[in-house]
C-alpha cells in the first residue's frame, strides 16, 4: 500500500512572520545577507559565500552572460543555462570571467596594417572599444599602440584608412610594467587621468589592460562577488547526459560552480553524474544537485557528493509538472522538511550542506519566509526575467511593455535533458509554458528595493543575519480570510496612472 503523508502540502502564501523584539541594533545597515553556497565542515568557511542569498535560475530566458555579470556585481550568482551547445555555454562563462578581473587579457587586437573597417567590425563583434595594436595582432604581441573611439570618426575617416595612421602610438602611451600591483596600476591611472593602462613585459609585449571603469564599478558595487583574482564568480547548469564532455569544457572556461539541472533530482542518473565528477576532480569542482522535496532525496544526493541541494518541484511560475504528472510538493512544506534533514545531517557528520529554495516565490516577503524556514539561498527565474539584463526581447503588448519568459520544459526550450527519464532523446510532453512577464527595467534598481524589504523584515523579526533569522523567527499559518485582510480592502483606490 502507498505511503500517505496526511500533513497538508503548504505554500509560502499560507504563512506570515510574527514580529520579534526589534532592538536598537536591528537596523537595515547592520543586516548581513551573507550565506554559504557550498558545503563546509563545522568551524570552517565555505569555498564560496554569497553576499546576498540570491541566484538566478538555469534558464534560457534568464541566465545569459549579461545578467550573470550584473548579478555577480551586486553580490549574487547566476547559473548559465545548459540547454545549448557545450562550446556556446563555455564561451558565455568566459565572457563573464573576462568582464572584470583587474588585469584583463586583451582579446581584441589588430595590427597596424589593418584598416578602420576592421576596427569597426571588431568593435561590433566584441563590444570592446579599446583595441590593442600589436606586431602580429595577438594578445601577447609586441605593443605598438592602442585604438579607442577617440582615435577615429566613422563617416569622416575613410574605411580603408590604415590603423597605423590614426592609432595612439606606443611612444605616446603611459604603460605599466609586468609585476605592478593592481593598486599601483590604479594609482597610475588616477595620476595621469587615463581610461586604460597597458601592462607590458621587458620585451614590450602586451600582457594586460587595466581599466579605470573596473575600479569605479567595484566602488559602486561593494557587495561584488569575486574571487582572489578579482574575477566575477559564475555558475553553469549541466545535465546527466553529456556531462563527461560539458564539465571539462566549463572547468577549462573558468566556471566556479556547477549545478545539475533536473525537474526531479532523486535519480540514479544524478547519482552517477555526481560520483563521476568526484572521481574525476575530487573536491576541486563544486557541484549542486536537485531538485528534491523530501529528506530521502536530500540524503541521496548528499551521499553521492552534492555540494548543495536544490529544493522544489512544480512551484515555478511557468512550471506545470504538477499539472502534467501529479508530482511535487508545496514549496514551504518541502523546504521545512528538507531543512530539518540538513540540520540532522550536520549534527550527525559535522558537514553543513546548504539548501536552495527554487520556486514558489510570488512576493518579496516570501523570500524572507523561505530563508526563515531554512533556505540558505534562493533561486529565481521570473524575478530576473523582467529586467533589461535578461536575454529575452522587450515587447509592447497593448499599452504595456513585457519580456518573454519560457520554461525549460516548454517546447520552445527543447531542454529534454532536464526531464530525462531515460530512453530516446526527446521531450515527450511539456512541463513548462511560454509566457510574458511585466518589464521592470534595470536589475540593480529593483534588486536594491527587494533587498531593502528583506532587511527591513528581518529587523522586524529581531534578526541581523540569516542564521539569526532561522533561529529566532516566529511563523504562523494564516486563513484565507486573513490573506484578504492583509491587502488593501474596503476602500476605493486612487488611479495611480
Active site residues per annotation: 319, 418
How many of the other CB atoms lie within 10 Å of CB of 115?
A: 17
The rounded distance, in Å, linking the Cα atoms of 489 and 71 is: 36
E-strand ranges in 329-406 read 351-352, 355-358, 377-380, 394-397, 400-406
Please state the length of the chain.
Answer: 497
Residue whose C-alpha cell is 518589464:
439
Strand 196-200, strand 176-177: pairing: parallel
Q: CB burial class (10 A; 0-12, 13-18, 19+) of residue 425?
A: exposed
Bond from prior residue into 127 cis (ω within 30 degrees of 0):
no
Q: Is the Cβ–Cβ distance between 354 and 376 less than 8 Å?
A: yes
Q: Is 230 left (phi over 0), alpha (psi -120 to 50) or beta?
A: left
The rounded distance, in Å, linking the Cα atoms of 236 and 92 is: 9
Q: CB burial class (10 A; 0-12, 13-18, 19+) of residue 16?
A: middle
SS3 6: coil
Which stretches within 113-192 are classed as H helix?
Answer: 116-126, 163-166, 182-191
Closest by CA position to 59, among listed 404, 331, 334:
404
C-alpha cell of 207?
Answer: 600582457
Amino acid at each position: 500500500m502507498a505511503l500517505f503523508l496526511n500533513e497538508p502540502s503548504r505554500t509560502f502564501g499560507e504563512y506570515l512572520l510574527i514580529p520579534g523584539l526589534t532592538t536598537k541594533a536591528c537596523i537595515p545597515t547592520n543586516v548581513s545577507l551573507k550565506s554559504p553556497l557550498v558545503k563546509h565542515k563545522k568551524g570552517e568557511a565555505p569555498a564560496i559565500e554569497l553576499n546576498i542569498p540570491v541566484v538566478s535560475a538555469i534558464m534560457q530566458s534568464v541566465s545569459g552572460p549579461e545578467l550573470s555579470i550584473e548579478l555577480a556585481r551586486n553580490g549574487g550568482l547566476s547559473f548559465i543555462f545548459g540547454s545549448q551547445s557545450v562550446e556556446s555555454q563555455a564561451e558565455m562563462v568566459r565572457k563573464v570571467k573576462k568582464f572584470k578581473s583587474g588585469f584583463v587579457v586583451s582579446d581584441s587586437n589588430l595590427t597596424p596594417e589593418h584598416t578602420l573597417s576592421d576596427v569597426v567590425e571588431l568593435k561590433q563583434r566584441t563590444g570592446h572599444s579599446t583595441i590593442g595594436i600589436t606586431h602580429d595582432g595577438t594578445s601577447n604581441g609586441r605593443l605598438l599602440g592602442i585604438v579607442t573611439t577617440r582615435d577615429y570618426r566613422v563617416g569622416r575617416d575613410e574605411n580603408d584608412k590604415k590603423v597605423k595612421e590614426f592609432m595612439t602610438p606606443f611612444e605616446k602611451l603611459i604603460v605599466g610594467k609586468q609585476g605592478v600591483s593592481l593598486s599601483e596600476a590604479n594609482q597610475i591611472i588616477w595620476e595621469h587621468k587615463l581610461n586604460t593602462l597597458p601592462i607590458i613585459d621587458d620585451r614590450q609585449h602586451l600582457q594586460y589592460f587595466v581599466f579605470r571603469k573596473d575600479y569605479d564599478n567595484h566602488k559602486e558595487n561593494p557587495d561584488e562577488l569575486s574571487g582572489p583574482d578579482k574575477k566575477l564568480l559564475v555558475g553553469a547548469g549541466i545535465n546527466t547526459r553529456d556531462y563527461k564532455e560539458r564539465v571539462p569544457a566549463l572547468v577549462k572556461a573558468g566556471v566556479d560552480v556547477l549545478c545539475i539541472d533536473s525537474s526531479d533530482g532523486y535519480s540514479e542518473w544524478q547519482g552517477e553524474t555526481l560520483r563521476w565528477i568526484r572521481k574525476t576532480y575530487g573536491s576541486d569542482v563544486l557541484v549542486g544537485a536537485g531538485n528534491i522535496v523530501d529528506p530521502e532525496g536530500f540524503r541521496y544526493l548528499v551521499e553521492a557528493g552534492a555540494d548543495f541541494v536544490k529544493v522544489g518541484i512544480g512551484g515555478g511560475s511557468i512550471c506545470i509538472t504538477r499539472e502534467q504528472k501529479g508530482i511535487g510538493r508545496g514549496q514551504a512544506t518541502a523546504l521545512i522538511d528538507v531543512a530539518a534533514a540538513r540540520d540532522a545531517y550536520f549534527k550527525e557528520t559535522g558537514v553543513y550542506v546548504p539548501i536552495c529554495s527554487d520556486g514558489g516565490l510570488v512576493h518579496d516577503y516570501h523570500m524572507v519566509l523561505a530563508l526563515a524556514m531554512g533556505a540558505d539561498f534562493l533561486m529565481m527565474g521570473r524575478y530576473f526575467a523582467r529586467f533589461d539584463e535578461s536575454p529575452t526581447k522587450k515587447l509592447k503588448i497593448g499599452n504595456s511593455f513585457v519580456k518573454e519568459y519560457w520554461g525549460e520544459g516548454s517546447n520552445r526550450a527543447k531542454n529534454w535533458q532536464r526531464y530525462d527519464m531515460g530512453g530516446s532523446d526527446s521531450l515527450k510532453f511539456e512541463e513548462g509554458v511560454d509566457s510574458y512577464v511585466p518589464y521592470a527595467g534595470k536589475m540593480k534598481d529593483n534588486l536594491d528595493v527587494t533587498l531593502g524589504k528583506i532587511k527591513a523584515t528581518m529587523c522586524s523579526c529581531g534578526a541581523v543575519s540569516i542564521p539569526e533569522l532561522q533561529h529566532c523567527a516566529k511563523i504562523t499559518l494564516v486563513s484565507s480570510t486573513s490573506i484578504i485582510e492583509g491587502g488593501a480592502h474596503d476602500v476605493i483606490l486612487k488611479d495611480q496612472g
